[in-house]
Amino acid sequence: MTATTDGSSGPVGAGAAAASRATDTHPAERPAASDVLEAAGRAAQRSVEHLLGRQDAQGWWKGDLETNVTMDAEDLLLRQFLGIQDARTTEAAARFIRGEQREDGTWATFYGGPGELSTTIEAYVGLRLAGDLPDDPHMARASAWIRERGGIAASRVFTRIWLALFGWWKWDDLPELPPELIFLPKWFPLNIYDFGCWARQTIVPLTVVSAKRPVRPAPFALDELHTDARLPNPPKPLAAAASWDGFFQRADKALHLYHKVAPRRLRKAAMNAAARWIIERQENDGCWGGIQPPAVYSVIALHLLGYDLQHPVMRAGLESLDRFALWREDGARMIEACQSPVWDTCLATIALADAGLPADHPALVKAADWMLAEEIVRPGDWAVRRPQLSPSGWAFEFHNDNYPDIDDTAEVILALRRVKHPDPHAVDAAVARAGGWTLGMQSRNGAWAAFDADNTSAFPNRLPFCDFGEVIDPPSADVTGHVVEMLAYEGRAQHPRTRRGVEWLLAEQEPSGAWFGRWGVNYVYGTGSVVPALTAAGLPLSHPAIRRAVRWLESVQNDDGGWGEDLRSYRGEQWIGQGASTASQTAWALLALLAAGERESKSVERGVALLAETQQADGSWDEPYFTGTGFPWDFSINYHLYRQVFPLTALGRYVHGEPFALRAGSREGG
């Protein structure tokens, strides 16, 4: 058995999980080969009915977006910092946090994953705020585990910032991030637009927090989380001066000195400029970027700058945070890091259409109407690098006009084209605008990223401050694949920009035959995104890249006929393509194999049979595993609708055929 760094098993362990899953699915009951098509048709019909029943009256779909308990712990810390705690919210959050604790006292960042230090520290502090005591058995187990792994001093920067707000950590022992960063010109290294949009929205308010260095009275001590209460902040050795890490560590020391001598007028001007930047990017619903972390830090920053809690900006911001809360039947309260209605709606539309729902079905028309109304028609931060580009596109969330998402835009176009809308001219006009915007967002290397073009500077990731997750937005194979697929569907398979995208994808293929998945787990997702794009763009099914991908997918198929890949594949090669079978990952593999012409293969037959036999009576699938990715490894997501839309798409294409085969040449030349 191969061991990982966290002591859990590698591929053999993953295979055991898959074997267990295979046992649970009663393979003896699997339909004969001749009956697989019939079983797939019945499963698809049940799934269609289930998905139609989940559509909102306005036309959208949205599944829960589950992450980890840091969202809930930080919500409690924010309420403590602002003095807006209430007993009902505190107890509901604590109930959820307690329910996520593992037997060893820790908290993980994904289902079945190892305990994670910073997450465990934040969960522990959140429960202390809720009244749990250090001597309580579940708390004692957590604190002992934390001490064994270095205590607070070994946690990430963001965790220590939260603790510094209450004096549990020293501001002097945190990396410095001056608000004067807002004045750096767009061509200068480390200007705010060198960061990915999610990092940019977080860093700008944190520069204000870093300059103000507030400390609220701590309601209790946290000595039990230090390895040595007398020396809570041990100094860390510097890297070699000639290395980039060494350079940035020494630059951080210089910035700490600057903090003490920064000209008051310049610093005040910088903080005012940061405040204007923050307020200008507040969405109509009061949030920032449609995601919870920037909203939290923006509220704190503005509060430190004198905005009272009744100010319209603050009031709207705090109200928006409540909309991230999901109240459960058991009284627990879970915080979503984000909400995904546009993404879920376009994927559901594609799934239903590919499963044979009539193109003019009222549910599809209503979904198209809602998506058309969500088109973004004003410039956002993306225009910094593409100032001449006409605005369009779709975001991921209900309200996020500053940051349309290239991935969402490609999939929305694919969804709109599957609907027979009563106003086809409106659809054509929106698709033309969005298609032009998407083409213009291509990066210099020929590929597409999620939010920005050419957001590839190597410097932001090297800052001592940036020790958690991705802070830049380079192009990825999965987004590029979706864009290429959309462009081919629009008759632009031979467009020079499409061909450059295809060339980039071919160059990015791993020696194994797989593609890396940036926004989904992991190589199964990347491969499931790219193969349908390449075949749609005209690559012959016999192309070596397609055959290598097929061989890789067949090589990692589980004994039960499904596919699964553990999030640990982002860190350990032994996990690549290894994990318990899931509905969404099985569907991704099937989408690739079907696009590659493997409909009659045993691999496809076995995968389809698994989806049919693991479907629940109500037409849904169960999937506790996290198959979505915010930041590879560091921030994982369980999209609760993935387990519904992707299996239905795969079953629909198995039963009804590939959408490109049905439309071959119908839009070519556009």
- Chain segment 540-585, per-residue pLDDT in tens: 999 999 999 999 999 999 999 999 999 999 999 999 999 999 999 9
| pLDDT score for 670 | 36
- 3-state helix, strand, coil split of the chain in percent (to 5) is 55, 5, 45
* Angle, CA 333 vertex, CA 330 and CA 336 arms, to 5°: 135
| pLDDT score for 473 | 95
| pLDDT score for 668 | 39
| pLDDT score for 461 | 84
More confident residue, 188 or 17: 188
What sections of 305-442 are H helices per DSSP? 312-322, 341-354, 362-373, 406-416, 424-440
- Chain segment 215-230, per-residue pLDDT in tens: 999 999 999 999 865 4
Domain 13-53+509-664 = CATH 1.50.10.20: yes
**May I ask the CATH architecture of the domain 68-222+240-335?**
Alpha/alpha barrel (1.50)
Give the separation between CA 407 and CA 384, rounded to whole angstroms: 19
Confidence of residue 4 (pLDDT cuts 50, 70, 90): very low
- Chain segment 373-384, per-residue pLDDT in tens: 999 999 999 999
Whether 336 has a pLDDT exceeding 70, the answer reads yes
| pLDDT score for 661 | 56
Whether 17 has a pLDDT exceeding 60, the answer reads no
Tokens of 644: 């519904």
| pLDDT score for 228 | 67
More confident residue, 459 or 627: 627
| pLDDT score for 457 | 92
Confidence of residue 233 (pLDDT cuts 50, 70, 90): low
Confidence of residue 667 (pLDDT cuts 50, 70, 90): very low
Mean pLDDT of 348-375: 98
| Mean pLDDT of all residues belonging to the chain | 91
What sections of 513-596 are H helices per DSSP? 523-536, 544-555, 583-595
More confident residue, 237 or 153: 153
Cβ neighbours of residue 12 closer than 8 Å, sequence gap 6 or more: 1, 2
Q: Do 518 and 526 meet the contact criterion of CB atoms below 8 Å apart?
A: yes
| pLDDT score for 237 | 74
- Chain segment 65-110, per-residue pLDDT in tens: 999 999 999 999 999 999 999 999 999 999 999 999 999 999 999 9
More confident residue, 319 or 4: 319
Q: Where are the domains of the chain?
A: 13-53+509-664, 60-67+339-351+362-457+473-498, 68-222+240-335
| pLDDT score for 235 | 60
Q: Which residues carry out catalysis?
A: 407
Least confident of 22-31, 283-292, 400-409, 622-631: 22-31
| pLDDT score for 239 | 74
| pLDDT score for 24 | 42
Mean pLDDT of 131-135: 97
The pLDDT > 90 percentage for the chain reads 84
Whether 25 has a pLDDT exceeding 50, the answer reads no
Confidence of residue 2 (pLDDT cuts 50, 70, 90): very low
Q: Which CATH class is domain 60-67+339-351+362-457+473-498?
A: mainly alpha
Any idea which residue has 């499409």 for tokens?
498
Mean pLDDT of 118-146: 97
Strand pairing category for 325-327 and 628-631: unpaired
Mean pLDDT of 399-413: 96
Cβ neighbours of residue 424 closer than 8 Å, sequence gap 6 or more: none
- Chain segment 462-491, per-residue pLDDT in tens: 887 777 778 999 999 999 999 999 999 999
Tokens of 253: 């020391």
Nearest-CA neighbor of 632 among 517, 478, 500, 503? Answer: 517
Confidence of residue 240 (pLDDT cuts 50, 70, 90): confident
Q: Is the dihedral of CA 385, 387, 392, 395 positive or negative?
A: positive
Least confident of 157-166, 205-214, 242-251, 446-455: 242-251
Q: Is the dihedral of CA 629, 634, 638, 643 positive or negative?
A: positive
Whether 492 has a pLDDT exceeding 70, the answer reads yes
Give the separation between CA 80 and CA 96, rounded to whole angstroms: 18
| pLDDT score for 121 | 98
Cβ neighbours of residue 83 closer than 8 Å, sequence gap 6 or more: none
Whether 15 has a pLDDT exceeding 60, the answer reads no
Mean pLDDT of 626-632: 94
| pLDDT score for 469 | 75
Domains 13-53+509-664 and 60-67+339-351+362-457+473-498 share a fold: yes
